[in-house]
Amino acid sequence: MKKVFYLLSIIILSSCAKEEKQYAEITLNLDNTPFIVVKNPLDDVYIWNMKNDTIYPNENNKFLFRKEISKPEYVSVKIGKEGLKSILFPNSKIEIAYIDSTFVFKGKNEKGMHLFNAFKRPYFDVNESRNYISDTTSYQITQKIKTQKSVELSKLQNLIDSTLIEGRFAEILEDEINYFYALKTQDIILDKQYGKSSINEELLQLFNKTIENYPLENDYKTSRWLDYANNILLNMPKFKIMAEGSITRDSTQKWYENDKLYPFKYDIIKTYKNPVITEKVLANFIINASKQGNFESSLVTLFKDFKSRYPNSVYTSYLDTEIKVIEDYYQKISGEMPTDVKFIEGRNIFKLEDLLSQLKGEKYYIDIWATWCGPCKGEFKYNDQLNALLKSKGYKKMYISLDKADFEDKWKQDIKYYNLNGLHMLANSDFFSHFAMNHSTYKGGVSIPQYLIVDKKGAIITNNAPRPSELEALEKVLN
């Protein structure tokens, strides 16, 4: 009987041990700060703003973020305009202090946290691409990457040798370094393949080598894991298809215009054999596409397929919110054009001065935008306050769209959806070119959104007016 009781006790105790939850904490004491935001993963990875936890202080101005986790996670703490990278461990605490106008980590692995935040992690853009123009071979690329990476690995090794960080933390920081430079290697290769009719076999082997050395299936998902996964599941397979000649850059542009590009990309991603990784990348793909604000109806169809493939996905409820916005868009644009919308025929207006000559007698705040410009449309949410300000100062509103003529229907649909009261003109290509050369704030092209203020005589007061989201600054200019 005693043996039976003993065995039952062991079973109960082991069962309790299995159910014991593990938590990670971040604490911060800070005055005069209304809240902080902790961006943290949802099932391993951080996708857009799915897991942005807003933390408010207690009566002692202490902020506490607490999360149940079973393995290490990368998180970002946003304090005002400051962003701090952190790595959470089960049953661990991170303390952040504000000392001498600087945020510092305290406690275990504090030196490692500071090193992590000291790493520069630029996204691969045009400026970054220029640094590798002359590197045409696999050897040149790997040597340059090796030189950059060795600097960071050396700093990490110094902390390890000085026993200033724990072993598991050191492993994760090493992953952050290795995977970032694997991603950078891939980005360099993809950049060199862009627009080419064939894939350089040597560079393709180097691309595949990065996957072999740093697999996607790694237990800890690094801060740039989704970018890395996107290169493997979408970007390189897309280039391979283009190299085969079945599609071209021109044909993909047509697909974009006819809302067939997203289904094409979605189909590429879903061929990946690991369903767990495919689910994450597809969820990221759908929400990123939805957040562009172009309201492609194909995304509704793709989301239905996603739900069918992953009926229990933790991402579904977040994606559903974005897809409902698209569905609401099509319902709203089926209505009438707002009565306060007026159109100016732009086919025969070839430069801004020609347009301004028609606007004499009134003061205008001019919004240069396009339907494909997410930041442009992001400013529309401030229009109620903007319109009230402009009215109080005697200004009217003018919108100039830089969309192509093929997008006229989409242009008018967006005017309906965002309720853009005021004057509207769809610029022609000559107008666009003249504007780029004479009135753009961006040398050698056009960067939108851009805002101009024009007086009653049709003269431009400024071609770089504050945005609708900068109402206080705009009011000063209008005064």
Residue 92 counted as domain residue:
yes
Q: How do residues 205-217 score in pLDDT, each as one tens digit? A: 999 999 999 999 9
Same domain, 458 and 358: yes
Residue 262 counted as domain residue:
yes
Same domain, 36 and 102: yes
What pLDDT, on the 0 to 100 scale, is given for residue 20?
77
206, 243, 340, 434 from 199: Cα distances, Å: 12, 6, 53, 38
Same domain, 252 and 242: no
Query: Which one, of 451, 290, 456, lies nearest residue 383 by Cα?
Result: 451
Same domain, 251 and 319: yes
pLDDT-based confidence at residue 396 (cuts at 50, 70, 90)? very high
Other CB atoms within 10 Å distance of the CB of residue 108: 17
Q: What residues make up the domain containing 52?
A: 20-107
Residue 13 counted as domain residue:
no
Q: Which of 187, 217, 246 is the last residue of a domain?
A: 246
Same domain, 115 and 201: yes
Is the model's pTM score more than 0.75?
yes
Same domain, 409 and 460: yes
Same domain, 234 and 252: no
Domain of 65, CATH number, reads: 2.60.40
Residue 4 counted as domain residue:
no
Cis omega before residue 311 (within 30°)?
Answer: no
Name the domain count of the chain: 4
Q: Which of 202, 224, 246 is the last residue of a domain?
A: 246
What pLDDT, on the 0 to 100 scale, is given for residue 197?
73
pLDDT-based confidence at residue 19 (cuts at 50, 70, 90)? low
Span 101-113, average pLDDT: 94
Same domain, 161 and 223: yes
- Is pLDDT of 5 > 60? no
Same domain, 367 and 379: yes
Residue 9 counted as domain residue:
no
Same domain, 453 and 355: yes
Residue 14 counted as domain residue:
no
Residue 334 counted as domain residue:
no
- Is pLDDT of 9 > 60? no
Q: How do residues 175-205 score in pLDDT, each as one tens digit? A: 999 999 999 999 999 999 887 778 899 999 9
Same domain, 121 and 234: yes
What pLDDT, on the 0 to 100 scale, is given for residue 33?
93
Q: Which of 219, 246, 273 is the last residue of a domain?
A: 246
What pLDDT, on the 0 to 100 scale, is given for residue 264?
95
pLDDT-based confidence at residue 18 (cuts at 50, 70, 90)? low
Residue 121 counted as domain residue:
yes
What pLDDT, on the 0 to 100 scale, is given for residue 478?
92
Same domain, 321 and 418: no
What pLDDT, on the 0 to 100 scale, is given for residue 2?
44
